[in-house]
Structure formats: C-alpha cells, structure tokens
C-alpha cells in the first residue's frame, strides 16, 4: 500500500491495513497515522498492534509519501522511500482503510495505490524431473 497524505493534529486519523478499529482485535492492524496523541503533538506514527511493539514516530504533519509492505511473515513501513520499521509477524487477512475519525480538520490523501507483492528477480529453480521408467533419448525441445 503506497499513499501520499497530509495528517492533521487530530486523534485517530489513519491509513493502512486493519480488520477493524476495536482495541481488542489483537494483531488486527498495521497503520500509519495518529492515535490518541495530544493535538499539540505534530508527529505521525507507524502503528503496529500493541502485541508487536509500540508506535514509532516517523515524521511530522507535512505532506509525505508513505508505504506499508505487507508480506507473508514481515511488515515494512516506509516514509519517502526510506524503510523506517519492520516487524516479523504472520498477519491475518485485512482491509485497506482510511480514517479521519475525529474532527475538526481532515486527513488529506492525495493518492493511494495498492500493488501486488513484488517478486524477487533472483533465485534458483530446480526443474521437475519426469521419469519415463526407461532410458530414452531427447527429441526436439520447443518453448
């Protein structure tokens, strides 16, 4: 999930992945935004579930490009292309959410893009072996 946004000094403004907003959800969110910070606090946070760590300050309320990479066993948070935090976990299925729950003032999301996992360009592949049950000569191979 990649997005460009400007957060305001209000509580519970988020963009990210979540199964909901109930505090009892356990490992049910990976968000960027503001929790219950005081309005005088002008920071934006990467918010993993409480069971996986505490919020990490990742910038201020200025317009920034954010990204959350959700992999099978790791979550990565980015600001302006720089990785800020990663968490090893096994996430549950989630939805993309945008929330400006408290007002006045609004969260502004200028762009939001959801992309599939970027597969590695490196790796090894071992071809499957088929056994004819007897010795045979190769014929023509076409691709």
Average pLDDT along the chain, 143 residues, taken 10 residues at a time: 89 84 63 80 85 84 90 90 90 82 78 75 60 66 54
How buried is 132 (Cβ within 10 angstroms: 0-12 exposed, 13-18 middle, 19+ buried)?
Answer: exposed
pLDDT of the residue at 36: 77
Closest CA to 103 of 11, 40, 24: 11
pLDDT of the residue at 82: 94
pLDDT of the residue at 113: 92
pLDDT of the residue at 111: 92
Closest CA to 67 of 111, 17, 5, 2: 2
Q: Give 95-140 as a DSSP string.
A: EEEEEE-S-SS--EEEEEE-------S----PPPP---SS------
Q: Give 55-69 as a DSSP string.
A: -EEEEESS-EEEEEE
pLDDT of the residue at 15: 92
pLDDT of the residue at 125: 60
CA distance 112 to 132: 52
* Cα distance from N-terminal residue to C-terminal residue, the chain: 36
């Amino acid at each position: 999930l990649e997005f460009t946004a400007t957060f305001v000094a209000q509580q519970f403004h988020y963009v990210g992945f979540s199964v909901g907003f109930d505090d009892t959800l356990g490992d049910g969110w990976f968000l960027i935004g503001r929790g219950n910070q005081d309005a005088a606090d002008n920071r934006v946070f990467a918010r993993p579930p409480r069971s996986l760590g505490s919020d990490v300050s990742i910038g201020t309320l200025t317009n920034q490009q954010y990204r959350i990479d959700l992999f099978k066993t790791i979550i990565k948070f980015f600001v302006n292309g720089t990785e800020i935090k990663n968490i090893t976990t096994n996430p549950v299925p989630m939805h993309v959410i945008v929330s400006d729950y408290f007002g006045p003032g609004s969260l502004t999301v200028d762009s939001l893009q959801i992309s599939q996992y970027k597969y590695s360009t490196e790796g090894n592949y071992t071809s499957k072996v088929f056994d004819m049950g007897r010795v045979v000569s190769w014929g023509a191979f076409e691709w």
